[in-house]
Structure 1
């Protein structure tokens, strides 16, 4: 892989502007959901060799998947990701690599989130809801990138009540480290699903960001009926609300992408050591006591 800051990486990012993103994604979906053995078997076998996927922790054995997509969105055994003991704190919602984490910066134009060194974007634009964004004033965020070899289901960080789902149409740029360094407002430009929750700590948002070749975002409350948004932003306010327990499945990516967790001012602080590049595991503690003498954000 080229250095994310190299000229070669910048060239790769530039080419993405010219690619037929939706056509390529639609083709990937057709191939990944094909049930013919001559398609799915070599795809699964090749992927396992390339990424050394551990299927010992999967519920279904290697021979039990009826498509590459079912392999990619595989469920894990109940004991594969035991949750950390954080009391009423927050857990990491997925496997992946931490891209960024920290405070939501407040400016006259509203809250902003760091995307990469020298780049940030508007929280209101990410959520596609200015009023919802105001509720996170003084809060924090954590961005986790899911590589192709990661487990691709997303879980609830804490006991939460789903208040609103917002489906936002957009581009389908890659969400790799190189792309996040070179494309402004990447996560606020890509297609995404925004889930707004009420919790004991105040408001929480979990944003699932789509990318090139991601065939869709499925949520447990949609039962797979709406993988993609339409041409316009679509909002559903739930009445009655949907109650989800900490660690319960929230949704899944059909191919990989990025998850962003946003919390309000009254939520617990992030644990120390949440630095870019850190490998994360589903159920790992996101919140906890800070080291003695550490300054508050």
Structure 2
């Protein structure tokens, strides 16, 4: 019996030693893995910080062409647009659109027609909503879209926030010095940026009673318009393709701009069928599109002055995103007060601000 115990003892000790060794090895491996992940994360953060630092010091007047007209931004957005416009077999429509509704939390009760009645994803995306779903406020300026407020307030210099801590140039965005737009000497300029998420209603409406006199189409790149990119790329709104509508309202200058973005560059206007965005075939005489061009962003646009001003009523539909992005309001007023703030979510037709009555 004693001998038997002596024979068993080495085996027990060896098993215990092996288990301990294995556990120690596993702990060491986990520690090494954690260190590698921590180092990688630290390196990524350092690289991102370096890229942001470089981009902030690159003169926005002379960005390289590779930044303004990139293959991923324009090429893939064009292809995605073509795919979205393809008619789907009827049996595929309802499950596909229902999946979109579930993922992006669309309000299905506002959809006016059966899901299978929309031939393509583009048709479903830019669908109307049931009548009366967006009551229009008569108290002041209303939101032109369903969207989240990225920034709003008075414009006190050429550089204003596109998102907290990062700016864009108004003069590059509009293609002119904004101070020259003022109709009244004692007026100020104001702006409001509204971001549309994939689940939002994507038609654009008039936020005020005004008249549209000019249209400027700025070809450009198509960066994603989300917080990471807005923080990474200064003056992103002045780089992306956009349609600037300018005119007048009761207090002077008024403008509404539809900004394109990655995979969502298609914009159409109800009163202007000639305007085409998100096109792979372009006029390369345009200075913004020349390869290896170092000309300033906002130096060229396709301009049109309408033969007669186009009147718009508050809440009237102006156009639509066929895959949506951002709307920017820039306007003149003597003393305007916003009733919204950064981060708020607005429904089209809801009050966003009004002129103060002294």
Same fold (TM over 0.5): yes
Q: Which has the larger radius of gyration?
A: 2
Give the 5 Å matches for 1:26-45.
Answer: 26-37=78-89, 40-45=93-98
Task: Give 1:93's aligned residue.
Answer: 144
* Residues 240 and 127 of structure 1, relative CA distance in 2, 3 Å threshold: same
- Correspondence 1:144 to 2:194: yes
Q: 2:251 aligns with which of 201, 206, 215?
A: 201
Q: Are the equivalent residues in 2 in contact too, given 1:203–1:264 (CA < 8 A)?
A: yes
Q: 1:71 aligns with which of 106, 124, 145?
A: 124
Q: Are the equivalent residues in 2 in contact too, given 1:127–1:133 (CA < 8 A)?
A: no
Task: Give 1:135's aligned residue.
Answer: 181
- Correspondence 1:222 to 2:272: yes
Deviation, 1:53, is 1.6
Output the CA distance in 2 between the equivalents of 1:62 and 1:221.
Answer: 28
- Correspondence 1:275 to 2:341: yes
Deviations 1:76-134 (A, max 9, x none): 12200101231xx211100011001111023xxxx33211233222211111233x552
Q: Which has the higher helix share?
A: 2
TM-score, with length taken from structure 2: 0.70
Greater shift, 33-42 or 169-178, is seen at 33-42
Task: Give 1:116's aligned residue.
Answer: 163
* Residues 181 and 74 of structure 1, relative CA distance in 2, 3 Å threshold: same
Q: Are the equivalent residues in 1 in contact too, given 2:76–2:263 (CA < 8 A)?
A: yes
Deviations 1:261-289 (A, max 9, x none): 11113363222xx2221111101112137
Output the CA distance in 1 between the equivalents of 2:47 and 2:273.
Answer: 38
Task: Give 1:210's aligned residue.
Answer: 260
Q: Are the equivalent residues in 1 in contact too, given 2:222–2:265 (CA < 8 A)?
A: no
Output the CA distance in 2 between the equivalents of 1:162 and 1:134.
Answer: 18
* Residues 28 and 228 of structure 1, relative CA distance in 2, 3 Å threshold: closer
**CA RMSD, 1 decimal:** 2.8
Deviation, 1:239, is 1.4
Give the 5 Å matches for 1:157-196.
Answer: 157-196=207-246
Q: Are the equivalent residues in 2 in contact too, given 1:55–1:62 (CA < 8 A)?
A: no
Output the CA distance in 2 between the equivalents of 1:26 and 1:8.
Answer: 33
Deviations 1:39-93 (A, max 9, x none): 655532321121232232122222211111010001112200101231xx21110
Deviations 1:132-191 (A, max 9, x none): 552257211010000000111111011111110000011100000111111110101110
Equivalent residue pairs, number = 275
Task: Give 1:295's aligned residue.
Answer: none
Q: Secondary structure at the match of 2:215?
A: strand
Output the CA distance in 2 between the equivalents of 1:22 and 1:286.
Answer: 33
- Correspondence 1:264 to 2:336: no
Output the CA distance in 2 between the equivalents of 1:9 and 1:54.
Answer: 40
Deviation, 1:24, is 1.1
Q: Are the equivalent residues in 2 in contact too, given 1:139–1:267 (CA < 8 A)?
A: no
Deviations 1:194-223 (A, max 9, x none): 000211121111111100001411011113
Unaligned runs of 5+ in 1: 1-5, 291-297
Unaligned runs of 5+ in 2: 1-43, 53-65, 287-300
TM-score, with length taken from structure 1: 0.84
